[in-house]
Amino acid sequence: MRVLLLADRSLASREHAMLRRLEIGLVDEGLRVIRCVPERSMPEESTGLEACVEYTDSRWRLDAWRPEKPILRRLAAVDSIAASDNEPDIGVIHAWGEACWPLALSLALELGADLALEVWSRQSLARVAWAESHAGRLAALGASGLWLAPDDAMRTALARSTRRWPVRTSDWGVHMPADPVVRAADAPIETVCILASGRDPLATINMLSGLARACAGRQPPMIFLDDAAPAAAPAIYRHADALGLLPRLTLTAALESRRQLVLQADAFVYPDCFGEHHSLVLEFMAAGLVPILRADRLVSVASDADIAALVQEPSELGWESAFRSVFEDPARARRLAAAAQAHIRTSRLAHRQIASTVAAYNAAVAGRPMPLAAARR
């Protein structure tokens, strides 16, 4: 069985580490995997893949109105695919990021392939009805669609929507570090990493105010802030200056791709609430950082007060209370970090994502069993 993993620029760039783990895992399971991503968005080596096909996502190219055509030409030029006459070119197209869903649909209609769409955010959840409106076109070709959810919270939201295609959980996962950190019961929080997009400036501004209030009378921790936030909303930087936090603040470029640096922090903060799933959040938990998260019903780890300090009301006072709960009670911070690590170890490891994804292809996509034995030959 050949699987084409298609990603838009946002997901390919932000989740390149997870997508690479998925590629390797699917290859290890005997599937023949083709990567299809925008130009220069995913530079990792392609060892084990049957092919890597890049496409342009520029709206100003002459072929932008039919972007599937150059992809089909490049696929046809891949020797191993062109020479194969005993199995279909592509059996499943697995799309990551709603920006590439129209392209994924066009490719599925051209190839007669089944379509698996990963619903990773509130924005992609809002696009479910659009995709389902094309279900009849796929069915006419003998193909079908499948919804994949990163965790049970998103699966529950998907299950409530009106749809024809089945829903499966893909269980986004990460690897545990070889030597996971175990916090001492009295260890203070001296460094904090903030993962923020800047698309909701007030959320980040209130969070910084709450952090400053929680540190009144003592030195704030060192703060690593994703530079995407002040780039998108300069008021965030000005507010940090007004709060006197700049001497303790470091802007980190492309924070999600500089994981080895930020995984050395003591705690991490996620002030946004867009229903978005980030594998970096799972890596923070696996590494033993204390999670301080804005509550989000579409994200399981941001809905469980046993594994994170949750901010239900994202006001200055709400954030102050959350920060104080771990700054002034190191034992609680240790319990949360340990519980988060245990959650990753038992429920969110990378091998589980591989198994869940293969099971989804096998059991749910068009109801046709996957010929894994044939794929391994």
Q: What percent of the chain has pLDDT over 90?
A: 75
What would the two tokens of residue 229 be? Answer: 């936030």
**Which residue has better confidence, 73 or 241?**
241
- Could you give the CA distance from residue 198 to residue 202 in angstroms, rounded to a whole number? 9
pLDDT of 36 higher than 50:
yes
| DSSP string of 72-90, one letter each residue | HHHHHT-HHHHT--SS-S-
pLDDT of 365 higher than 70:
no
pLDDT of 44 higher than 90:
no
Pairing, β 267-270 against β 222-226: unpaired
Q: Any bridge partners for residue 33, and if so which? A: 3
pLDDT at residue number 367: 56
Helices (H), the chain: 9-14, 16-28, 68-76, 79-82, 101-111, 122-125, 128-132, 135-139, 152-160, 201-214, 228-232, 235-242, 259-262, 279-286, 316-327, 330-347, 350-363, 372-376
| Least reliable range by pLDDT among 192-196, 272-276, 372-376 | 372-376
Amino acid letter, 272: D
- Could you give the CA distance from residue 22 to residue 244 in angstroms, rounded to a whole number? 43
Which residue has 């392609």 as its token pair?
46
pLDDT of 82 higher than 70:
no
CB proximity list for 86: less than 8 A, separation 6 or greater: none
SS3 42: coil
pLDDT of 366 higher than 60:
no
pLDDT at residue number 35: 96
Annotate 243-280 with b (16+ C-beta within 10 A) or e (fewer). bebeebbebbeebbeebeebbebbbbbbbbbbbbbbbb
Backbone angles phi, psi at 53, to 5 degrees: -120, 125
| Least reliable range by pLDDT among 8-17, 65-74, 82-91, 165-174 | 82-91
pLDDT at residue number 285: 96
pLDDT of 97-150, one tens digit each?
A: 999 999 999 999 999 999 999 999 999 999 999 999 999 999 999 899 999 999
Average pLDDT, the chain: 90
- Could you give the CA distance from residue 202 to residue 221 in angstroms, rounded to a whole number? 21
pLDDT of 276 higher than 80:
yes
pLDDT at residue number 77: 87
CA angle 37–43–48, rounded 5-degree value: 80
Backbone angles phi, psi at 227, to 5 degrees: -70, -10
pLDDT of 302 higher than 60:
yes
pTM, two decimals, is 0.92
Q: What is the mean pLDDT of residues 49-56?
A: 91
Q: Determine the angle formed by the axes of helices 316-327 and 330-347, rounding to 10 degrees.
A: 90
pLDDT of 179 higher than 70:
yes
The band of 375, judged by pLDDT with boundaries at 50, 70 and 90, is: very low
SS3 140: coil
pLDDT at residue number 329: 96
Q: What is the mean pLDDT of residues 221-225?
A: 95
| Least reliable range by pLDDT among 337-346, 353-362, 363-372 | 363-372
pLDDT at residue number 373: 34
Q: What is the mean pLDDT of residues 293-312?
A: 98
**Which residue has better confidence, 76 or 300?**
300
pLDDT at residue number 263: 86
| Least reliable range by pLDDT among 49-63, 65-79, 89-103 | 49-63
Q: What is the mean pLDDT of residues 173-190?
A: 89
- Could you give the CA distance from residue 196 to residue 343 in angstroms, rounded to a whole number? 23
* Cα dist from 305 to 291, 330, 347, whole Å: 10, 16, 16
- Could you give the CA distance from residue 128 to residue 147 in angstroms, rounded to a whole number? 9
Q: What is the mean pLDDT of residues 245-255?
A: 90
